[in-house]
């Protein structure tokens, strides 16, 4: 990719590189949410019980955990670009393979491989975008990554709906689901070839002594004056001593770590991905046919995108804290409503409205803001590690919630006692807890520079 001029650099060039990296985020959304349209058919095809259904839906997330865990190391060893290419290859292989399996074990292996790609991309895509962009535009880019994720989710909901419409329920149970997973190979292949065209991150190049190549990219991004200044700053930063893992728990860093870790876990125990991955099944449970359920799922994806855009507009004006409090309070009420509806067997439109309300409140608050918090609360010297651990906790919790949902939703004892209300009561309690945690512990970081945020923890 070649554009830009030596004196001023090119905003278009940065935008193009960021767009390629953001495609990795889009695939993150696509590959995790593809399960929504397929899980019911997969269940019929392989005659799965509740625990194996949970496993089929969540095995990829175990791969994500591994991918996110090794992504920092991989990106440092082989470079950001090769790490992204590896993720792209894993996406393609997993897409094709998960369309072909004859056993659920084989399917899970294929999904775990793809998960490693997703986990890697979830760390390296924002990292690459942050490293390639000039300081002034860096903050907004984290939110663009979230935007890419929710667009990926919406696109795959459409694809699932389209594929399911090609045949009957029995055709979908034998063949349709295979096309749903296989379809992921197409955007993954595009991602692979586009990634071949982007340059390696200048930070990584400079770290490996390749200053001339690093400067070349920096010039194209920001012009020659800025390139020299940035290269000097990078070299300076590389001289700082790294902080050990236990350093994360030093007094000055402890609160930052606590906030990022707890918010990562809370984002997931709200049950968001129960809706992202199981929505069609929930809608079928309350009386919708397959087609209607998938159409309703598209409206969930649309709402998610719409309110992510709302968050983008509000987060720097309104602040993180008020949005999170309003969001988590709204999510608590939506869960309460869903619990009441499930307990009293109220079916139909009410359920759709409550689910859409829940999604809107999540997308305008915890969805993007938790990722912003994870990216901005850590002091520079521990940011990489801190972000990696917080992402690991987020994926780990996502795995636990997605694996256990069918089990608690179908547990005879829980159903006999609470109807189908128990999962909503459980997730709703965590939403309420989030309101209190944000109120009591999380400081407002709107408009503060990263250095000012660092000072908050020193008090
Ligand atoms: C979460 C994902 C979720 C997505 C939904 C993200 O912030 O981390 O787990 O699937 O939002 O939009």
The predicted-structure confidence for 291-304, as pLDDT tens digits, reads as follows: 888 888 999 999 99
Q: Which of 276, 320, 369, 371 to mutate to test the pocket of ligand 1 (most atoms within 8 A of CB)?
A: 276
Taking the centre of ligand 1 as the mean of its atom positions, its distance from the CA of residue 301, in whole angstroms, is 11
Question: Hey, CA dihedral for 362, 261, 457, 451, is it positive or negative?
Answer: negative
Q: State whether the beta carbon of 391 lies less than 6 angstroms from ligand 1.
A: no
- pLDDT at site 136: 63
List, in order, residues 6 or more apart from 369 with CB less than 8 Å away: 311, 315, 320, 323, 324, 327
Window from 284-298, 314-328, 332-346, 432-446 with minimum mean pLDDT: 284-298
Percentage of the chain lying above the pLDDT 90 cut: 56
Q: State whether the beta carbon of 271 lies less than 6 angstroms from ligand 1.
A: no
Burial (CB < 10 A; 0-12, 13-18, 19+), residue 134, is middle
pLDDT exceeds cutoff 50 at 99: yes
Closest residue by CA, ligand 1 atom 12: 150
Which of 391, 443, 422, 430 has its CA nearest to residue 266? 430
Taking the centre of ligand 1 as the mean of its atom positions, its distance from the CA of residue 374, in whole angstroms, is 14
Q: State whether the beta carbon of 20 lies less than 6 angstroms from ligand 1.
A: no
More confident residue, 392 or 249: 392
Q: Which of 273, 364, 366 to mutate to test the pocket of ligand 1 (most atoms within 8 A of CB)?
A: 273
Distance CA 315, CA 324 (A): 10
Q: State whether the beta carbon of 356 lies less than 6 angstroms from ligand 1.
A: no
- pLDDT at site 423: 94
Which of 372, 409, 172, 365 has its CA nearest to residue 275? 409
Average pLDDT over residues 400-404: 95
Confidence of residue 3 (pLDDT cuts 50, 70, 90): very low
Average pLDDT over residues 253-258: 88
**DSSP label of 172:** I
Confidence of residue 433 (pLDDT cuts 50, 70, 90): very high
Question: Hey, CA dihedral for 303, 305, 306, 312, is it positive or negative?
Answer: positive
Structure tokens at 243: 């902080």
Distance CA 174, CA 248 (A): 50
Distance CA 75, CA 81 (A): 8
C-alpha distance from residue 431 to each of 335, 364, 418 (Å): 9, 14, 19
Q: Does domain 11-198+240-458 have CATH number 3.40.50.300?
A: no
Question: Hey, CA dihedral for 18, 20, 23, 28, is it positive or negative?
Answer: negative
Largest CA distance in the chain: 71
Taking the centre of ligand 1 as the mean of its atom positions, its distance from the CA of residue 371, in whole angstroms, is 9
405 and 423 in contact (C-beta within 8 Å)? yes
Window from 73-77, 352-356, 407-411 with minimum mean pLDDT: 73-77
């Amino acid at each position: 990719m070649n554009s830009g001029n030596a004196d001023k650099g090119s905003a278009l060039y940065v935008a193009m590189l960021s767009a390629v990296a953001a495609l990795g985020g889009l695939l993150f959304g696509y590959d995790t949410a593809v399960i929504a349209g397929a899980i019911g058919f997969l269940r019929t095809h392989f005659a799965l019980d509740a625990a194996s259904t949970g496993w089929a839906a969540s095995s990829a997330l175990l791969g994500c955990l591994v991918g996110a865990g090794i992504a920092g190391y991989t990106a440092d060893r082989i470079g950001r670009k090769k790490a992204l290419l590896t993720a792209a290859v894993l996406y393609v292989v997993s897409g094709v393979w998960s369309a072909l399996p004859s056993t659920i074990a084989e399917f899970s292996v294929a999904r775990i491989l793809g998960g490693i790609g997703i986990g890697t991309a979830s760390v390296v895509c924002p990292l690459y975008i942050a490293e390639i962009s000039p300081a002034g535009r860096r903050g907004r880019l984290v939110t663009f990554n979230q935007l890419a994720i929710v667009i990926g989710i919406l696109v795959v909901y459409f694809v699932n709906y389209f594929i399911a419409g090609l045949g009957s329920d029995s055709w979908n149970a034998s063949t349709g689901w295979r096309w749903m997973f296989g379809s992921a190979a197409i955007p993954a292949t595009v991602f692979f070839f586009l990634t071949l065209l982007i340059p390696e991150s200048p930070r990584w190049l400079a770290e490996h002594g390749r200053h001339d190549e690093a400067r070349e990219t920096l010039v194209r991004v920001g012009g020659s004056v800025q390139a020299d200044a940035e290269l000097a700053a990078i070299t300076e930063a590389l001289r700082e001593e790294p902080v050990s893992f236990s350093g994360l728990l030093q007094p000055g860093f402890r609160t930052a770590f606590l906030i990022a870790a707890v918010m990562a876990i809370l984002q997931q125990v709200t049950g968001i991905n129960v809706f992202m991955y199981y929505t069609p099944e929930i809608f079928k449970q309350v009386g919708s046919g397959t087609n209607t359920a998938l159409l309703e799922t598209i409206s969930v994806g649309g709402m998610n995108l719409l309110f992510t855009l709302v968050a983008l507009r509000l987060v720097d004006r309104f602040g993180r804290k008020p949005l999170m409090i309003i969001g988590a309070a709204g999510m608590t009420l939506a869960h309460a409503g869903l619990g009441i509806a499930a307990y009293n067997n109220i079916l139909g439109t009410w359920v759709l409205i409550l689910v859409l309300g829940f999604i809107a409140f999540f997308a305008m608050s915890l969805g993007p803001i938790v990722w912003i918090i994870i990216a901005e609360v850590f002091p520079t010297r521990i940011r990489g590690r801190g972000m990696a651990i917080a992402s690991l906790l987020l994926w780990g919790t996502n795995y636990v919630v997605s694996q256990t949902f069918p089990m608690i939703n179908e547990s005879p004892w829980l159903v006999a006692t609470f109807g189908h209300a128990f999962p909503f009561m459980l997730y709703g309690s965590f939403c309420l807890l989030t309101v209190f945690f944000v109120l009591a512990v999380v400081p407002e970081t709107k408009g503060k520079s990263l250095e000012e945020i660092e000072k908050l923890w020193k008090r």
